[in-house]
Amino acid sequence: MGRYSGLWTSDQPHFQLTKEGKGFLGMFQVDWEMGAQQGSIRGSRRITDRQRNFPFLTELRYLPMMMEYSLYRFQGAEKKYPSPEWVFSATEFLEGEIKARQKVLQFGMNHGSLWMLQRATHLTVLESDMPVAAELMYFMDTEAEDYPSFIKQNLHVEICGGAEKLVYLEGFPDNYFDYLIVDNLQTQVYPEATIALAISKLKKDGWCVLHQSDLPNNHLAVSYLDKHLPSLRFTGFTPIDCFISQTRMWKKV
């Protein structure tokens, strides 16, 4: 147990490496057991994103933040201290860009939605999973001090998915939103068409943010964006991943 053995005051935990992936990008899983309690920890040997881009050394300064948010998740307090799920340096960049009362379109509701609302943006969320949206909206109701009514009035959630999302997007005028936020498009039936339509609703100088832009299921959307817009790539740590991830941003010019 080494230097951490003193943290355990009763039974000593038993650790066993149970699964290990092959190759440079392999994952591993360690199962643990302590008395009647059992659990597992998953991690990665990966020191690049999925496209084998190395992070800048400056990304190391975000390691304490990653550990802090891991503790919040362990304590069930991640909603109390919300952060976007993007690479930390991408969040820091966008922090300097976002202004109050700007209009944001987000695909999928998550803790980043709370972060956006705390910055007094007008947020429209297209969510296909009603329980996810209901859980976060209930949290805002129970935390009235942090989310007063005037903030909640800036949120509009539309439950829709697949082709319904395209129909709903058609209802907005072109050049309407200041930001388009996408976690990833793994549940989107028409990713390229959806991104193309959403970009038409983005204002000039607006930003499209795509987390996990290195995932294979985002390839069509990324290819479309790369053909039409200049971009920034952020490779580094995130609040939710214990490995290196990628976030891309495209600016509409």
Closest CA to 55 of 214, 190, 210: 214
Q: How far is CA 43 from the centre of its chain?
A: 18
Stronger pLDDT, 192 or 28, i.e. the higher one: 192
> Look-up: residue for tokens 């959630």?
157
Pairing between β-strand 202-211 and β-strand 177-182 as defined by DSSP bridges? parallel
What are the tens digits of pLDDT across the range 29-87?
656 565 666 666 555 557 888 888 999 999 989 988 888 888 888 788 888 889 999 99
pLDDT, position 5? 28
What are the tens digits of pLDDT across the range 221-237?
899 999 999 999 999 99
Stronger pLDDT, 96 or 8, i.e. the higher one: 96
Cα–Cα dist 86/181, whole Å? 10
Lowest-pLDDT choice from 14-28, 65-79, 80-94, 189-203: 14-28
Structure tokens given for 74: 């362990």
Pairing between β-strand 245-251 and β-strand 202-211 as defined by DSSP bridges? antiparallel
Structure tokens given for 5: 């053995």
What are the tens digits of pLDDT across the range 124-162?
999 888 888 899 988 888 887 778 887 889 999 999 877
pLDDT, position 23? 46
Whether the pLDDT of residue 248 is over 90: the answer is: yes
pLDDT, position 1? 28
The CA-atom distances, in angstroms, between 153 and each of 79, 121, 138, 218 are 19, 10, 14, 32
Cα–Cα dist 89/59, whole Å? 7
- What angle, 0 to 180 degrees and rounded to 10, lies between the N-to-C axes of helices 191-200 and 219-228? 40
Q: Using 50, 70 and 90 to split pLDDT, how confident is the model at 217?
A: confident
Residues ≥6 apart with Cβ < 8 Å to 32? 13, 14, 15, 16, 38, 39, 40, 41
Closest CA to 123 of 150, 144, 97, 103: 103
Stronger pLDDT, 67 or 190, i.e. the higher one: 67
Q: State the CB neighbour count (10 A cutoff) for residue 51.
A: 10
Cα–Cα dist 225/213, whole Å? 11
